[in-house]
Amino acid sequence: MGGDASIGSGDGTGEDDDDDRSKKRQKKRGIFPKVATNIMRAWLFQHLTHPYPSEDQKKQLATDTGLTILQVNNW
């Protein structure tokens, strides 16, 4: 009955690796330049009754802020 204690002694879960990967995945928030945020906020406050820009307004906001239309949409 003298089994080999070294076989299977590790738990093999690899939890530390999973934690590192999930932290990297979660930290994918872009921070817009302050000027861009100020322009977007100004537009929002001027249009509080209907805060949904038209396609032309989105293009103009993108031009004014230096962001892409997708970034304007997501903001």
Q: What are 3-45's pLDDT values in tens digits? A: 555 555 555 555 555 566 655 566 667 789 999 999 999 999 9
Distance from C-alpha of 32 to C-alpha of 8, rounded to nearest angstrom: 50
Phi/psi of residue 52, nearest 5 degrees:
-125, 100
Q: What are 40-71's pLDDT values in tens digits? A: 999 999 999 999 999 999 999 999 999 999 99
Q: How many CB atoms lie within 10 A of CB 17?
A: 9
**To which residue do tokens 């070294």 refer?**
6
Single-letter code of the amino acid located at 4 = D
The pLDDT, as a whole number, for residue 1 is 64
Are the C-beta atoms of 58 and 72 separated by less than 8 Å? yes
Which tokens go with 27? 């930290």
The pLDDT, as a whole number, for residue 61 is 97
